[in-house]
Structure 1
Amino acid sequence: SVGRRVGLGLSIYCEQAAHGTSVYSGWGIPMVPGHEQAGARLTPDGGLELRIGAHSHGQGLETTLAQVAHEILGVPVARTRLVHGDTAMTPYSTGSWGSRVMVMAGGAVATACRELADRALAIGAHLLQAEPVNCRFAAGRVIGPTGDVSLEEIARTWYRRPQDLAPDVNPGGLEVTAGYKPQRDSGTFSYAAHAVVVAVDPDLGAVEILDYVIVEDGGVLVNPLVVDGQICGGLAQGIGTALYEEMAFDDRGQPLATTFADYLLPGAAEVPDPRIDHMETPSPYTQFGVKGIGEGGAIAPPAALANAINDALGPLGVEMLRSPMSQRRIVEAVLAARHRTAVGARAAA
């Protein structure tokens, strides 16, 4: 035994996300998404209902889209309800994929909420007996020259006391469906660098991750905690890709990994607590400067871990080029390298 060997691995990447019409039409893809729509409706009690066709599959849209709406309308996040994922009940969408939802659906929600604020401004100005041009909307209130009125009061009047409004005040009501398309729809570009230190046992093939650092640039982060969760979950997936997960088949095409006893997944003991640092370069073409970051955590770990393992085992003549870099494959590579060394020594003698 030569003892455990320590190696350092780095990887960097650029993730294109939120691809638009120009990208997919240029690639000749049959389904070409170019925009997104969202619905925004004030409820009679002054709450807010948002509707989007994309689905939240764990990336926290219920929170982040409510934050976008709060930024514009001032409605508390706790009083905002998201209806999503069923285009029978929402505006049409091609769905949640390609790290697109925060850019596309977030932009559509912002657009719909701005139009809703304009409609609320017209009603609020009427209640304040002022001209809309002399009023402004801020923090959930319409503010006029002599007073202000809340969204709750505006909604209550529109739904339950329409007799207090002139017939020509906001005939469109307090429900808006609006669409959004980025100024330049070639996509957003997120970046990251991953660095990992591993210890590899050449005799056992065991790999221990000693330290893991991620520096990420996902543009303006609407909810940093949600982004950290996305990155940590992606890291776990990337570790599985690099070291454990494999769908093997026999020579007749029959699957050999039909249970989790055969298809190995990383557990809590195999996934480190990474150190994460966020840079923030706003996108110049999207609402709020956001970028897509959905696949960010999972892209880099296989390359970083392969580089670290090869750094550790390089002096032994080992280079791992196939994932997963399982214990068996590492041991086989080490034994093959030792055999080559022994054959070369005998030939030299």
Structure 2
Amino acid sequence: MTFRHHESPPITRKLIGQRVLRSEDVRLVTGRGHYLADISLPGQLHAAFVRSPAAHARIAAIDLSEAVAVPGVHLVWTGHDVEEFCSGIEAQFTAEGCELITMPLMARDVVRYVGEPIAVVIADSRAIAEDACDLVSIDFDDLEVVLDPRVSIEGGPVANGERPDNVGLRGRASFGDVDAAFDTAEHVVSALFHPGRVSASPMETRGCLASFDWSTQKVKLWTSTQMPHYVKLCLGLYLGFSEARCEVLSPDTGGGFGQKAHIYPEELIMPLVSRELGTPVKWVEDRRENLLAGAHAHEQYVTISYALDANGRISAVRTHALVDGGAYHAPPQTMAVEAWCTAAVTPTGVYDIPAAEYVYEGAVTNKCPVGAYRGVGYMAGTLARECLIDEAARTLRLSPFEIRRRNVVRDFPWVNPQGIAYEEGSWARCIDKLEEMVDYPAFLERQAKARDRGVYLGLGISVFVESSGESTGMIQAHGMNETYHDTATVKMDPTGSVLVTTGINSQGQGQETTIAQIASDVLGVPFEAITVDAGTSTKGAYGSGTVGSRGAVIAGGCVNRAAAEVREQLIAVAAQMLGVAKEDIELSDGQVTSKSDPEAKMEIADVAMAAHYDSNAWPDGFDTRLEATRAWDTSRPMFSNGGHAMIVELDPETGIVDVERVYSVEDCGVMINPMIVEGQIRGGVVQGIGLSLLEQLVYDNAGNLTTTSFLDYQVPTMDVSPPFEIQHLETPSAISAAGIKGMGESGLIAAPAAVLNAVNDALAAFGATLHDLPATPERVFNAIQGISTPEEPQPWQQLWDRAGVAGADPGDATVV
């Protein structure tokens, strides 16, 4: 039986859908995980970086003499030293209007953000290397610092000479008669939302260890990454290493959340210095470095407008998304993943809006580059759409559930204004389920009684749809030319145990367990017989990275196709051994049985042994490997959906907001493991609460990052985690393995909007509204006191004209 590249063989579900305990947890919770910092090689040296203390300056002179003279220092390099081997990392997304920007491995003549690497010191220990870094003397000639993206995008002072207009990204599109909808609207509501700058802050910081063998010209790189195969590709593209002689390994990874889905200069510098010195070199950053130089995330200014009729039906939406992209693109995703995704990927969300128009822009500033972080782009877009629809509900005196019901898509398949087809979904059911879980009438009664006591409760809801299982089908449907490539290898040994190798590695998502569940059901062998291996670039399987909620969908699809081929090989041998037709064979629970003769059965392990070593059991033309490597990619976009509702309590005297309870509804198709799904929801929602109420990377007027430790940058801890009630809907995908959809980002995509809506519901008693995140006590208190007023968005025509060309017609349904 053969299947085309985009087809997924059917799976008989047995373990899929079960709450199987995570097999990797025995190792991880007992402290036996093997992380990058745990790896040591004989003779290894240690690296530390001199990082720019200036946000924007010309390097007038560098004096390395004192650093070089420190005992135990083996090498000190500057940007000019590494330029001989690599001029920089080029980054450009195929989204319309994404401009090419080159990031040097280390700054050469100009520094463009505080934290940018200027020099690297290699020494016997990290402590010696850090001491030597302090002795590097640098003279700077200050340049004007560009920090506000709203000023930068207007062509203000130049932040990066490669983009003298400060534009890293710019595009626009219009679908349907937007002008007519707004001209005839009974109501128009508009707002400007500003989710702040945050860090993914994985528990394990970034790091890598390089070892170059001069005798074989091979380089081995251990790195804490979500994209080992992309890192390997970059070793060839940028450094000239033969890819066949490169091995990249990703050991146990203590969280990534998108921050580790990039290639960083440090990952390319370590192989170079290892080759130069002929010894392994290791770099592990501290938390200050991570907050300074690990990709930042999520900061955007999102202007959104709805045109509504008297009944609250939305007839058109306009969105302008401006991302503060920092000094460079963070390759490979670039700053486009924020603004482009916010405006262009799901401009209407779950709502049946017939006309949409959007502008997306990325401003170059003198800050750390912005990159991927869980829910990238979707979070800001969902925040704007869901918070504005609540404001519309207040204007029209409708409940937040009712206004959504009046606008939600109910019938599938449905095609949005851009022409993107949504084949299935439970969008209306999700709204109804949330209202049922909250018991909205009871909440209103409790809220009114609480206000009489001076206690202010708020309810916020947020519903979402996300592209699930980032794929070639999804990206090309949205007008880009990116192509993903992923494979898996399934190999059964003579004893019947199975090794599954995937190209998509794990950062704590539980993929060793979920992938084993899929392989077990396809092959009919016990779960315990499956070993899942990922995180190495040399074992046959290939992966485009653990990003975009694609782990279970894409890795699962690849494993399903490869395991299905091995299953067919087993069936062929078993049929020969039992003397029955192949169609008569069943594989389940580690046994082979005959449908027509229940007494005819044997262990799958016996069939595996015969497939390897008993030629009498081989049918004509049999391939004796019991091994297959197969690729899989989705033929079209697939979408998950869900929603959250939150109840908060607001203290008007302090401005402190406490989240009292979270209600979550998730539809990720068929769940492989509900326990893991619920864990992902809880983790993502708590991250969303953190960036909604606590987290903010703050720069001063000189471009210095002032939040460089967890004393200043407050992440959520268990005392912030509220009680959860989680329910599941199940709308299977028609194209994936067993109907599976992705869901790793869903918690963070919609949680911030639910938090802000809840805060604004509580603030409604004071006639106040917030549009900025985080909703800190200071901002909440000032809103109550009437000290702050939400910022007014720029006129739409001005935004449209700035992003277009002279004489362009906003009604044209084309991307400019």
- 1:95-106 map, 5 Å: 95-106=545-556
- Give the equivalent residue in structure 1 for 2:622: 170
Q: Is the 8 A contact 1:211 1:272 kept in 2?
A: yes
- Give the equivalent residue in structure 1 for 2:248: none
- 1:139-150 map, 5 Å: 139=588, 140-144=590-594, 145=597, 147-150=600-603
- Give the equivalent residue in structure 1 for 2:701: 251
Q: Note if 1:265 corresponds to 2:718.
A: no
Measured after TM superposition, the shift of residue 138 of structure 1 is: 2.1
Q: 1:154 to 1:249 in 2, by over 3 A?
A: same
Amino acid of the residue matched to residue 306 of structure 1? L
Amino acid of the residue matched to residue 154 of structure 1? V
Q: Is the 8 A contact 2:576 2:619 kept in 1?
A: no
Q: Note if 1:42 corresponds to 2:492.
A: yes
Q: 1:202 to 1:120 in 2, by over 3 A?
A: same
After superposition, give the CA deviation of every residue in 1:149-197 in whole Å (9 maximum; x if it has no partner): 22111122233x3354458462242111122233xx3322111121111
1:55 to 501, 505, 515: 505
CA distance in 2, matches of 1:327, 1:311: 16
- 1:70-149 map, 5 Å: 70-128=520-578, 130-133=579-582, 135-139=584-588, 140-144=590-594, 145=597, 147-149=600-602
CA distance in 2, matches of 1:211, 1:324: 19
CA distance in 1, matches of 2:583, 2:454: 77
2:471 to 15, 20, 31: 20
Moved more, 118-127 or 248-257: 118-127
Please state whether the residue corresponding to 1:197 is helix, strand or coil. Answer: strand
Amino acid of the residue matched to residue 726 of structure 2? I
Amino acid of the residue matched to residue 637 of structure 2? G
- Give the equivalent residue in structure 2 for 1:326: 776
- Give the equivalent residue in structure 2 for 1:155: 608
Measured after TM superposition, the shift of residue 28 of structure 1 is: 5.6
Q: Is the 8 A contact 2:660 2:723 kept in 1?
A: no
Amino acid of the residue matched to residue 712 of structure 2? D
Amino acid of the residue matched to residue 467 of structure 2? Q
- Give the equivalent residue in structure 1 for 2:458: 7
Measured after TM superposition, the shift of residue 111 of structure 1 is: 1.2
CA distance in 1, matches of 2:695, 2:616: 65
Q: Is the 8 A contact 2:647 2:660 kept in 1?
A: yes
Please state whether the residue corresponding to 2:607 is helix, strand or coil. Answer: helix
Amino acid of the residue matched to residue 750 of structure 2? A
Measured after TM superposition, the shift of residue 241 of structure 1 is: 1.1
Measured after TM superposition, the shift of residue 26 of structure 1 is: 4.8
Q: Is the 8 A contact 2:587 2:604 kept in 1?
A: no
CA distance in 2, matches of 1:316, 1:338: 13
Q: Is the 8 A contact 1:83 1:90 kept in 2?
A: no
After superposition, give the CA deviation of every residue in 1:215-243 in whole Å (9 maximum; x if it has no partner): 11111101000000000000111001100
Runs of 5+ consecutive residues of structure 1 not aligned to the other structure: 340-349
1:204 to 654, 659, 668: 654
Measured after TM superposition, the shift of residue 288 of structure 1 is: 0.9
- Give the equivalent residue in structure 2 for 1:180: 632
Measured after TM superposition, the shift of residue 269 of structure 1 is: 1.3
Please state whether the residue corresponding to 1:314 is helix, strand or coil. Answer: helix
CA RMSD of aligned residues (A): 2.1
Please state whether the residue corresponding to 1:50 is helix, strand or coil. Answer: strand
Structure having greater relative contact order (Cα 8 Å, sep ≥ 6): 1
Q: Is the 8 A contact 1:9 1:309 kept in 2?
A: yes
Please state whether the residue corresponding to 2:773 is helix, strand or coil. Answer: coil
CA distance in 2, matches of 1:245, 1:166: 62
Measured after TM superposition, the shift of residue 30 of structure 1 is: 5.8
Amino acid of the residue matched to residue 89 of structure 1? K
Amino acid of the residue matched to residue 315 of structure 1? A
Q: Is the 8 A contact 1:316 1:337 kept in 2?
A: no
CA distance in 1, matches of 2:572, 2:752: 55
Q: 1:47 to 1:157 in 2, by over 3 A?
A: same
Please state whether the residue corresponding to 1:255 is helix, strand or coil. Answer: coil
Runs of 5+ consecutive residues of structure 2 not aligned to the other structure: 1-452, 790-816
Please state whether the residue corresponding to 1:293 is helix, strand or coil. Answer: coil
After superposition, give the CA deviation of every residue in 1:52-88 in whole Å (9 maximum; x if it has no partner): 1001111111111111111111211122101112222
More helix by share: 1
Moved more, 163-172 or 38-47: 163-172
- Give the equivalent residue in structure 2 for 1:215: 665
CA distance in 1, matches of 2:618, 2:527: 32
- Give the equivalent residue in structure 1 for 2:190: none
Q: Is the 8 A contact 1:6 1:200 kept in 2?
A: yes
CA distance in 2, matches of 1:105, 1:328: 45
Amino acid of the residue matched to residue 546 of structure 2? S
Q: Is the 8 A contact 2:540 2:629 kept in 1?
A: no
CA distance in 1, matches of 2:764, 2:777: 16
Please state whether the residue corresponding to 1:38 is helix, strand or coil. Answer: strand
Measured after TM superposition, the shift of residue 275 of structure 1 is: 0.3
Q: Note if 1:317 corresponds to 2:770.
A: no
CA distance in 1, matches of 2:518, 2:663: 30
Please state whether the residue corresponding to 1:15 is helix, strand or coil. Answer: strand
After superposition, give the CA deviation of every residue in 1:245-293 in whole Å (9 maximum; x if it has no partner): 1111111111111000000011111111210000111112222111111
Please state whether the residue corresponding to 1:269 is helix, strand or coil. Answer: helix
After superposition, give the CA deviation of every residue in 1:291-318 in whole Å (9 maximum; x if it has no partner): 1111011111111111111111122122
- Give the equivalent residue in structure 2 for 1:345: none
Q: Is the 8 A contact 1:123 1:169 kept in 2?
A: no
Percent identical:
34
CA distance in 2, matches of 1:50, 1:273: 37
After superposition, give the CA deviation of every residue in 1:11-34 in whole Å (9 maximum; x if it has no partner): 11111112332432354656421x
Q: 1:10 to 1:133 in 2, by over 3 A?
A: closer
